[in-house]
Amino acid sequence: MKTASERRAALNRLVESRTVTRVSPPLLLPAGPFFDLAGEEFGRALLLTTASTGIEYCLRPDFTLPIAQTYIEDGLVGVPAAYTYLGTIFRQQDGLPVEFEQAGLELLGQPDAGNALDQVLTFARWALAIYDINAPFVRLGGVGLFESFLAAADISPAWQARIRHRFGHPDAMARVMERLSIPRERNAVEAPDGREAVIEIVTDAMLQGGLSLVGGRTPEEVADRYIEKQALDAAPLSDGTLQLLQDYLEVEDSAPAALDRIWSLTAAAGLDIEEPIQIVRNHAAALQALSPKADVIFDASFSPRLDYYTGVVFEMTNDEGEVLASGGEYDRLLDRLGASQPVPASGCALWVDRLEQEATR
């Protein structure tokens, strides 16, 4: 068994390979991008402070977002780049500040996105091997596969967006599925013509009711929610499509068996999503070859709770379900940070403290 110092030396060698650039983003970062891109749930874990200018900052809670921002700010969009890191992140846990050590790899702008993801999976697997973890539980998900399924199925754009935004959030997805399963009568009242007309009606109603137009939900927000609801009610899913969606989300098995099941379900419904299914198959097979003793499961309902993920995603966990490594493809992040062109991106994060605990058990 390796000593702690030997494991640390091996991990340092992994993150300081000649083919990558090791980086260390600042400890204090603007909090705004984390709220905007990682969402309210992640925002509650931030450790915040406010500058005299009124701008909120946070102790570094993550490496991926600042690395992606720097890549764009340095004018590297369109240039292949590979970054590694090893350092401390800071978050709240049970109301208390906690420090964690993380290591990871981020591959940005690589010409072969599939190969980049396999490199990320290999990096994660090598890292676990340093800590003598040779048979992890691996859970794969397919964000891109699910989006292809939604696009191919008989589902309106409004419902596609609503379902997609709740993908990976079991409680929120359950509420959507419940709403879809309840028959609804069409509203017999003719809706106002156009968004501006709806805003006018809402504004008048708020004023007549003595409600302020500032400090709460604005007339524009209320109007947009009303228009969205009308669009959803006007395009309910058929019973067959709803059942297909439920069957899809319930698929969880060894990767080959799960993907065979999804192919059978979709082919029987006349949907052609063979290409995205094959993409997941290829990565699952590569990962299984890397880790012959690992349990590689495909969970059709699995996705990180960050909606900038786009393709194959994964978690590697211990027997108790603690995440040791996680990541995947996140092409949407660079676009949302203002990249001038699409940038393929793959990466993973390793929870070094948990890896150390596993190695000493």
Binding annotation for L-histidine: 62-64, 91, 102, 106, 308-309
Taking the C-alpha atoms of residue 340 and residue 360, their distance in angstroms, rounded to an integer, is: 47
Cite the DSSP H helix spans in the chain.
Answer: 4-15, 32-43, 64-73, 113-130, 143-152, 157-165, 170-181, 195-208, 219-233, 239-249, 255-268, 274-290, 331-336, 352-359
Q: Give the 3-state DSSP-derived string for 52-68, with helices as H, strands as E and coil as C.
A: CCCCEEEECCCCHHHHH
Q: In what order do the strands lie in the sheet with 345-351?
A: 21-22, 81-93, 96-108, 345-351, 323-329, 312-317, 137-142, 295-299, 252-254
Q: How many CB atoms lie within 10 A of CB 139?
A: 21
Tokens of 229: 């609801």
Please report, in range form, the residues annotated as the binding site.
62-64, 91, 102, 106, 308-309
Please report where in the chains the tokens 């846990």 appear, as a residue.
93
Helix (H, G, I), strand (E, B) or coil at 180: helix
What's the chain's length in residues? 361
Please, which residues have CB within 8 angstroms of residue 292's CB and are 6 or more apart in sequence? none
Helix (H) / strand (E) containing 325: strand 323-329
Instruction: Tell me 228's DSSP state.
Output: H
Q: How many angstroms separate the CA atoms of 115 and 312, rounded?
A: 12
195, 197, 202, 203: CA torsion to nearest 10:
110
Number of other residues whose CB lies within 10 A of the CB of residue 85? 24
How far is C-alpha 228 from the chain's CA centre?
24
